[in-house]
Amino acid sequence: MISAVRPLVAPLFGAFALLAANLAGAGSLPEPAEKPILTVTGKISATNKDGAAQFDRAMLEALGETSFSTSTPWYKEPVKFEGVALAKLLDAVGATGDRIVSIALNDYSAEMPIEDARKFGVILALKRDGEYMTVRDKGPIFIVYPFDSDPDLKAQKYYSRSVWQVARIEVK
Amino acid sequence: MNVLRVIKAGLGISLIVFTVAEVSVSFAIVDRQKALREVARYNMVWAVSQAVGEFYRFEERVAAYGAPGTAVDSDEVQLRFDILSNRLDIFRHGDVKEFTDAKPEQGQTVDAFGRLLTDLDPLVQAIDRPGTTPRILELAQPFEAKLARLAAAANEYGGDQTSADQQRLMQLHWMFSSIAVALVVCGLAFIVLLFVQNRLLTKAYETLRSLADELRAAKDAADAASEAKSRFLATISHELRTPLNAVIGFSEIIAKETFGPVGQKAYREYAADILDSGQHMLELVDDILIMAKLDAGRYELDLVRLELRETVDRTVNMFRGTKQAGRRSITVDSDGAWPWIEADERAMRQMLLNLLANAAKFSEPDTPIEVQCRFSSDGDVVLSVTDRGIGMTPQEAAQVVNAFYQADSRIARRYEGTGLGLSIVSGLMGCHGGRLSIDSEPGIGSRISLIFPASAVCTPAFVKVA
């Protein structure tokens, strides 16, 4: 029986090491090449600068793109948002808390339970209708819920969690 | 019972109202859900007040930039301006636009604000040029009051919206309450009506039960009376028959001089008369007994299969031998249909004899009497005796089957009879499931028919000994 197992040992060990490295994180994020647009702090395991994880636009886009169209109280017509799934970002930084606080450029902040990310498919939108969003246009990052997917989301509770001009995210 | 009908109508109405209320509740629930959701809509009041806040921060950053020895750089000012421009954008679209459309004065403020930002844009980008900072502040200053007014108006508008939403909810609440009350009332009405109906029905049932009991008692009494009558008649007829037999028997012996001659011719004649009267009385007693049995529904038929032609021939021959028949011409129609039928032989004979006797009685001796038989269109057997006598009017024909009736008291005196004959024939035909039919015209003649139902027709019975 041992002779059958031996050929599998090396690949198994390699996979395990990779998994462990991913889980451990600790300084495993690359540094941003351009000016960072998002800083993540708090209960995270992957960092790249003094216990914080900084991302530029390219790093965020490298996490994978998600998009959806939805109606909002800020635009007359339904709008197509493209960006990174919040859940993917949280996985990338190894978030272990139960709440996240999003803080905007003008110091507006909102708290949301971490399950919202997975439960509702919240995204960090970078593009609106195909165009990158400037600060004037609620950019560079806009936290958007897919409001049309669930009638319960069309309430003040979720509109207030939909922070635009996001600069920082704290994991608590 | 009218009350029951009213109750039924009431039940129907309450049921309809109940159903209508139920349906409207369903619609109302959907409506309510929508209304509740709308109450939690986007807070545009907050959005407007945020804009005011951003405006002050922008002004503050510009002033700080302009002040000597500060650490504020132009990028920060630009950022603040960009954030402020974004606020204008929000004013122009989405839910805030609804507010500015509703309040044109505030719409004008937003437009003016837009123009301000357009004017400030190049200035902010070239903020490091001397004199730009005071210029920016100068242009911005008037808007402090305007924006404050805008925020206050937004708050007012928001309050009105909330108030309207609350009112709608209250209305829905009242609608729900009234529907609930209507449902309860209908339910109660239904129950009450059912209760009342139940009581009425119970009472009706009791009345019916007691009525049924009374009827049963009455029927029992009637049955008993009928029994008593039959027994009385049976006894009487037996009592009468016994002396009659003596009268008939002995008078016959004397009339026929069985034990030797009588001597005086007159005594022989008297004996014949006594015999006649005795036989006549016996006939009457028999008729009365039959009548009584038919009346009580207790005449029992002894049904056998009869060859109608043969029965008729025999009876006619029997009749020919009597005094009534005399030398009359009596023909039996050979061309007719003469089936076999199931009937009481004795009754058949009696009925035929009765009809023949009537025919002979009510017509002149030189006129013929015919006996015919045919099938009707329904398959009934029609056996008729026809005479060319005095006939009767339709009114007389209708009455003649009633017991003791004779067409005319003058006739009664001229033509003897108790008047029981045709009523007995009618009763006996009834027992056979058939009927008696009279077809007559005064002065022309009469055809009396015995109509047997098609079901009486049967197959021939071969019990005759050759």
Which residue range is the domain that position A119 belongs to? 26-171
The residue out of B137, B172, B191 marking a domain boundary is B191
Instruction: Output the average pLDDT for chain B.
Output: 85
Q: Are B83 and A106 within 8 A, CB to CB? A: yes
Nearest to B90 among A74, A135, A151 (CB): A74
Residue B331 predicted with pLDDT over 50: yes
Chain B partners within 8 Å of A108 (Cβ): 50
Nearest to B94 among A73, A106, A136 (CB): A73
The residue out of B191, B226, B253 marking a domain boundary is B191
The β-bridge relationship of strands A38-42 and A166-171 is: parallel
Query: Same structural domain for residues B308 and B187?
Result: no
- What integer pLDDT is reported at residue A22 of this predicted model? 47
Nearest CA distance, A49 vs chain B (angstrom): 23
B227 belongs to a structural domain: no
Q: How far is CA A52 from CA A49, A124, A171, in A?
A: 5, 18, 11
The residue out of B145, B174, B191 marking a domain boundary is B191
- Residue A54: CATH number of its domain: 3.90.420.10
Residue B392 predicted with pLDDT over 90: no
Q: Are B79 and A76 within 8 A, CB to CB? A: no
Nearest CA distance, B171 vs chain A (angstrom): 22
Nearest to A165 among B43, B44, B83 (CB): B83
- Domains identified in chain B, total number: 2
Query: Same structural domain for residues B177 and B316?
Result: no
Chain B partners within 8 Å of A156 (Cβ): 40-43
A71: closest chain B residue by CA: B94
Mean pLDDT along residues B108-134: 89
A72/B contact by beta carbon, under 8 A: yes
- Residue B433: CATH number of its domain: 3.30.565.10
B365 belongs to a structural domain: yes
B382 belongs to a structural domain: yes
Q: Are A136 and B57 within 8 A, CB to CB? A: no
What is the band of A154 on the pLDDT scale with cuts at 50, 70, 90? confident
Which residue range is the domain that position B346 belongs to? 303-458
Q: Are A169 and A101 in contact (CB under 8 A)?
A: yes
Residue B438: what are its φ and ψ, rounded to 5°?
A: -115, 125
The β-bridge relationship of strands B330-332 and B369-375 is: parallel
Give the separation between CA B112 and CA B106, rounded to whole angstroms. 10
A134/B contact by beta carbon, under 8 A: yes
- Domains identified in chain A, total number: 1
Q: Are B43 and A160 within 8 A, CB to CB? A: yes
Residue A147 predicted with pLDDT over 90: yes
What are B163-221's pLDDT values in tens digits? Answer: 888 888 888 788 878 877 877 888 888 888 888 889 989 999 999 999 999 999 999 99
Give the separation between CA B297 and CA B402, rounded to whole angstroms. 16
B269 belongs to a structural domain: no
B22 belongs to a structural domain: yes
Q: Are A165 and B54 within 8 A, CB to CB? A: no
Chains A and B form CB pairs within 8 A to the count of 52
B258 belongs to a structural domain: no
Q: What is the ipTM of this complex?
A: 0.71
Chain A partners within 8 Å of B89 (Cβ): 136-138
Nearest CA distance, A75 vs chain B (angstrom): 5
Residue identified by tokens 């000994």 is: B465
Q: Are A155 and B41 within 8 A, CB to CB? A: yes
A149 belongs to a structural domain: yes
A21 belongs to a structural domain: no
Query: Same structural domain for residues B187 and B311?
Result: no
DSSP per position, A133-170: PPGGGT-S-EEE--GGG-GGGSSHHHHTT--SSEEEEE
Give the separation between CA B61 and CA B195, rounded to whole angstroms. 84
Q: Are B94 and A155 within 8 A, CB to CB? A: no
What is the band of A17 on the pLDDT scale with cuts at 50, 70, 90? very low
What are A44-59's pLDDT values in tens digits? Answer: 988 888 889 999 999 9
B353 belongs to a structural domain: yes
Q: What angle do CA B7, B13, B18 make, to 5 degrees?
A: 125
What are B66-107's pLDDT values in tens digits? Answer: 888 878 888 889 999 999 998 888 887 767 778 888 888 888
Nearest CA distance, B83 vs chain A (angstrom): 6
A154: closest chain B residue by CA: B41
